[in-house]
Amino acid sequence: MKAAWYSRNGEAQDVMVLGDLPKPSVQAGEVLVRLATSGVNPSDVKSRRARPVSDPLIVPHSDGAGVIEAVGEGVPATRVGERVWIWNGQWQRPWGTCADYIAVPAAQAVQLPDSVDFAAGACMGIPGLTAVQAVILAERLSGDLRGQTVLVTGASSAVGHYITQMVTQLGARVMGTVGSEAKAAHAQAAGLQEAIFYKTESVPERVKALTQGRGADVIIDMDFSTTAAWASEGALAAHGQVVCYGSNALSVPLPFRPWLYQSMGVKFFLVYDLTPADRQRAVTRLSGLLAAQSLQHSIGARFALDQVAQAHVTVEAGQTVGNVVIDL
């Protein structure tokens, strides 16, 4: 099968290799998927650059979509021919979705409705599930979001775009940080009501101005290294909650007194490592949204397999609005 891989860390153009690898065999409890698309996420490029390579080669990318071609023992034969999307394809294993085929545990191949194309399917594993889990946790911590004010950091990002749609559909007032007019327009088309330009204005002051000094009830956050200070400066209401799935810095100072005195809370989660119950809830809700055609999907750039290095460079540049997908 055709595949892309790397055997050492480094720049994409220096380490990515294209060639043929053996087609994986399907084991008990697994499905073999003929992939049509592979999603490229920031975590994929970070892994290529810095995560120690302990296997002879790494076929990158955790997200993808395609059709089940074969099933292993214990998996219903009726699944053959099913359109599916993949989650955790390259989590704690060397063989990801940047290849013609992948064999994964049957639960990691989720049915994809006929109304959803394979490019969108390649966005479900990390962007889609991260967004759903963030919203589920926001509801768990803050109750029904209808009528509440939710601040989405990075509202035009791959994850933030889905969060904005989901929270809007739940009846919340959604404001979000963006870096440009183009990104603001992208987020507003998904339901964003107030765009906050974090590069040129104070986010806490703008949030307070928009909420009569109260702050947001919930912040769904992609960068705790920034939001920790914003929350303490008034962006988060007393007794408000932060749901966080990322940080641009690994060590984050927390202004403890304002967090304590305003009884503010934070919940972190890693989309790769959800509990089985949380995973099932997230997959079920996301499947329902897809079946109902309730989500807009944004594909910012598409590449062929032999352009995989360019796809990684595009993700690293961080300027593309929408997801980056490789067509296989």
Whether residues 188 and 231 fall in one domain: yes
Crossing angle (nearest 10°) for helices 158-169 and 181-189: 40
Q: Is the pLDDT of residue 315 over 90?
A: yes
* Residue 34: strand pairing partners: 67, 101
Asked if residue 163 lies in contact with residue 245, where contact means CB atoms within 8 angstroms, the answer is no
Confidence of residue 319 (pLDDT cuts 50, 70, 90): confident
For the stretch 34-63, pLDDT in tens is 999 999 999 999 999 999 999 999 999 999
pLDDT of the residue at 64: 98
- Residue written as tokens 């992939």? 35
Q: Is 154 left (phi over 0), alpha (psi -120 to 50) or beta?
A: left
Whether residues 158 and 97 fall in one domain: no
Q: Please report whether residue 147 resides in a domain.
A: yes
Q: Quickly list DSSP for 135-166.
A: HHHHHHHH---TT-EEEETTTTSHHHHHHHHH
Residue 183, H or E segment:
helix 181-189
Tokens at residue 288, please?
């329902």
pLDDT of the residue at 318: 86
Whether residues 158 and 107 fall in one domain: no
Whether residues 27 and 155 fall in one domain: no
Q: Please report whether residue 283 resides in a domain.
A: no
For the stretch 245-276, pLDDT in tens is 999 999 999 999 999 999 999 999 999 999 99
Distance CA 215, CA 15 (A): 46
Q: Which domain holds residue 229?
A: 129-272
Whether residues 109 and 133 fall in one domain: no
Whether residues 113 and 135 fall in one domain: no
- Compute the average pLDDT of residues 200-229: 98
CB neighbour list of residue 295: distance below 8 Å, 6 or more residues apart: 128, 162, 165, 166, 289
- Classified as helix, coil or strand, 238 is strand
- Classified as helix, coil or strand, 324 is strand
Whether residues 309 and 186 fall in one domain: no
Q: Please report whether residue 290 resides in a domain.
A: no
Task: Quickly count: other Cβ atoms within 10 Å of residue 126's Cβ.
Answer: 28
Q: Please report whether residue 292 resides in a domain.
A: no
Strand order in the sheet with 265-268: 194-197, 173-178, 149-152, 216-221, 236-244, 265-268
| Alpha helix stretches (DSSP H) within 10-128 | 12-15, 42-50, 118-121
Q: Please report whether residue 72 resides in a domain.
A: yes
For the stretch 103-141, pLDDT in tens is 999 999 999 999 999 999 999 999 999 999 999 999 999
pLDDT of the residue at 286: 98
Instruction: Indicate which CATH number applies to the domain containing 14.
Output: 3.90.180.10
Distance in angstroms between the alpha carbons of the first and the last residue of the chain:
11
Maximum CA pair distance of the chain? Answer: 62
For the stretch 272-293, pLDDT in tens is 999 999 999 999 999 999 999 9
- The answer to pTM > 0.85 is yes
Distance CA 157, CA 177 (A): 10
Whether residues 258 and 146 fall in one domain: yes
Whether residues 34 and 148 fall in one domain: no
Domain count, the chain: 2
Whether residues 150 and 104 fall in one domain: no
Phi first, then psi: give them for residue 177, nearest 5 degrees.
-85, 140
Q: Please report whether residue 285 resides in a domain.
A: no
CB neighbour list of residue 102: distance below 8 Å, 6 or more residues apart: 24, 32, 33, 35, 64, 86, 89, 95, 96
- Compute, in degrees rounded to 10, the torsion defined by CA atoms 270, 273, 277, 279: 70
Q: Please report whether residue 282 resides in a domain.
A: no
